[in-house]
Structure 1
Amino acid sequence: MTLDTRKFEVLRISILSLCNFACVYCAPKEKENLTTHKNPSQFLSPERLKTNLKKLIPHINIKEVHLTGGEPTLHKELIQLIQIVNQHGIKDIALTSNGNFEFGLIPKMKAAGLTRMNFSLDSLSQIEFERISDRKTSISKVLEHILEAKQLGLLVKINSTILRGMNDMEIIDLLQWSGERNIPIRFLEFMKMGPLHKEHPTFFYSANEIRNQIDTKYKFQSYPTASDSTADYYITEEGYIFGLIANHTEPFCDGCNRLRMDSQGKIYGCLSDETSFDLPDNSSQIKKTLEQAMLTKKREFTGSELSMKYIGG
């Protein structure tokens, strides 16, 4: 696929840049006090979302909107944001969360129009979970939310970022836990982004190493994968489905159809490029801006010093 034939079809929106975790691969040693951050520019307003969708929809066939962060469940107007997306006729509305939020929120999100949830789960060990997230949070709360979302009929996936020397020995356990509950899990190569940009080689654990480790216990074969998917999927003889997202060793940039928006409403064409664009008011200028954003897309993932929480995954 070439830049000439590629189209933006998925809109990923980082609705806020704050998080209640400080994961080592995103915000190490960062302990933000949420009560001191009242700058409205850190939270995408419902008005800005509505305006930007109105601008984009005439130019893009948006098949999916994916709400990310930061931690999107911290947004005080999250339900309204989901409703706005739903009101614009977008049927596939997803959200990625760390699972550390109050009980009772998932039914409200589903009623507003949410169809899918991805949960970040990097460890099943309480000790390692706290080490990676840098927070004293119960892992059982996260697991309960994963199961609740599935029980309520949302499509659920688990994302596990594998870090050498931290959770690389939990791959089998994570696969078994998710597989036994019929939940697909995706193992991610640690991306060269944010504060650990320079330390990337220290923690990097490749997709091939993940695949080889799984092979020590399970027999598996390829599983049908969409052409625009970021993951290559497999299924074990037990029926456990897992995916590998290998930004670095098995690039998939040529098929990327994602446009990203940050909490200030600026758009980005590529995770590996920090160039952002304001959406102009003039319709003809919007088309030109989207073309410029498309031109920032790289042939392969090169990384960025921009933290993932500002642009979403």
Structure 2
Amino acid sequence: MNEENRKFEVLRVSILSHCSFACVYCAPKNKPDQTNFFPKVNYLSPELLESKIIALQPHIQIKEVHLTGGEPTLHNNLIPLIKKLKDLSIREIAITSNGFFEDGLIHEMKLAGLTRMNFSLDSFSQIGFEKLSDRKLPVERLFQRILEAKNIGLEVKVNCTVLRGYNDSEILDLLGWSGENGIPIRFLEFMKMGPLQEEHSDCFYSAEEIRETIRLKYNFSPHLTASDSTATYHITDNGYLFGIIANHTEPFCDGCNRLRMDSLGRIYGCLSDQTSFDIPSETSEVAMVLKQAMDTKKKKFTGSGLSMKYIGG
């Protein structure tokens, strides 16, 4: 994408600064969170989200709003948030979740206007799941939630952050399960974010290593990938679709069309820059702030000290 033609089209909103998991790549127990400019737990209200989007809409064409966290299903006003987005004529409304939430919520979200669910699926085994999430919960429940969302008619994807020594041996199992169920899976390189920004290399497993692992069992070829996609997609000879999101070794920053908002309603132009901006109430000033946010975008992903639980993915 030409530098002059870059524009914001996708708004990723971290609707609360809290998660029920303590995943090793986001909130490891032995590395306390050093971020001190967020309340311990903050919830973005439907009214604040609505006012911020109304301020943005005259300046950018928002084709998708993606709700993240933290764990967004913990938000006490999640359904009203989704309804607000639908009322604001947002065509694509997505959410990323760890899958552990109350029965019936998927149906409620779909009725409110949700169109897609992304699930974090980092392990195929119970032992691996507990090791990665630091939670003793049944991984089978996560598999059931993923299939429930698919069966109810939502578009579904699963994401797996690959860490050496944790789940790199489970790549083939995860691809096999997702492929057999007709669900695209995306394998993510471990990103230099938050508490592990400076101690990232020991667990890092590259995109090429992921492909080499998949080649042990499957032949695959490139699959059509949108120019603004964060993933590069491939399809196996037996029809299993998978993507690889390689922020570090195969950066895609020049095609990034994402604007991020935290649970305080402040916006960020780049995942590699902690600079945030308030959206002014004066319409004439919004364009200037958006330009400032765009100017923070990097040409290459460098990571940030900001934890993913505050800004989402």
Instruction: Report the counterpart of residue 242 of structure 2 in structure 1.
Output: 242
Instruction: Report the counterpart of residue 149 of structure 2 in structure 1.
Output: 149
Pairwise CA distance, 1:2 = 3.3
**CA–CA distance in 2 between the matches of 1:137 and 1:102?**
14
Instruction: Report the counterpart of residue 272 of structure 1 in structure 2.
Output: 272
Residues 287-306 of structure 1 mapped to structure 2, 5 A cutoff: 287-306=287-306
Instruction: Report the counterpart of residue 228 of structure 1 in structure 2.
Output: 228
**CA–CA distance in 2 between the matches of 1:138 and 1:20?**
14
Instruction: Report the counterpart of residue 54 of structure 1 in structure 2.
Output: 54
Q: Deviations over 1:273-307 (max 9, x none)?
A: 00000001111110000000000000010001110
* Percent identity for Structure 1 against Structure 2: 66
**CA–CA distance in 1 between the matches of 2:31 and 2:200?**
21
Pairwise CA distance, 1:31 = 11
Task: Note if contact 1:3-1:294 (Cα within 8 Å) is conserved in structure 2.
Answer: no
Structure 1 unaligned blocks of 5 or more: 33-38
AA partner of residue 160 (structure 1): C
Task: Note if contact 1:6-1:257 (Cα within 8 Å) is conserved in structure 2.
Answer: yes
Task: Note if contact 1:41-1:263 (Cα within 8 Å) is conserved in structure 2.
Answer: no
Instruction: Report the counterpart of residue 138 of structure 2 in structure 1.
Output: 138
Give SS of 1:290's match: helix
Q: Deviations over 1:250-275 (max 9, x none)?
A: 00000000000000000000000000
Task: Note if contact 2:17-2:40 (Cα within 8 Å) is conserved in structure 1.
Answer: no
Residues 66-77 of structure 1 mapped to structure 2, 5 A cutoff: 66-77=66-77
**Pair 1:88–1:40, CA change in 2 (3 A):** farther
Q: TM-score normalized by structure 2?
A: 0.96
Instruction: Report the counterpart of residue 91 of structure 2 in structure 1.
Output: 91
**CA–CA distance in 2 between the matches of 1:118 and 1:171?**
18
**CA–CA distance in 2 between the matches of 1:41 and 1:49?**
17
Instruction: Report the counterpart of residue 196 of structure 1 in structure 2.
Output: 196
Structure 2 unaligned blocks of 5 or more: 33-38
**Pair 1:40–1:217, CA change in 2 (3 A):** closer
Pairwise CA distance, 1:30 = 7.7
Task: Note if contact 1:41-1:264 (Cα within 8 Å) is conserved in structure 2.
Answer: no
Task: Note if contact 1:22-1:31 (Cα within 8 Å) is conserved in structure 2.
Answer: no
Pairwise CA distance, 1:152 = 0.2
AA partner of residue 218 (structure 2): Y
Task: Note if contact 1:98-1:121 (Cα within 8 Å) is conserved in structure 2.
Answer: yes
**CA–CA distance in 2 between the matches of 1:102 and 1:146?**
14
**CA–CA distance in 1 between the matches of 2:114 and 2:297?**
28
Query: RMSD of aligned C-alpha atoms?
Result: 1.3
Instruction: Report the counterpart of residue 79 of structure 1 in structure 2.
Output: 79
Q: Please state if 1:4 is matched with 2:7.
A: no
Pairwise CA distance, 1:28 = 0.7
Pairwise CA distance, 1:3 = 3.1
Pairwise CA distance, 1:103 = 1.3
Residues 3-22 of structure 1 mapped to structure 2, 5 A cutoff: 3-22=3-22
Give SS of 1:42's match: coil
Give SS of 2:18's match: coil
Stretches of 4+ moved more than 4 A in 1? none
**Pair 1:280–1:40, CA change in 2 (3 A):** farther
AA partner of residue 263 (structure 2): S
Instruction: Report the counterpart of residue 36 of structure 2 in structure 1.
Output: none
Give SS of 1:102's match: coil
AA partner of residue 246 (structure 2): A
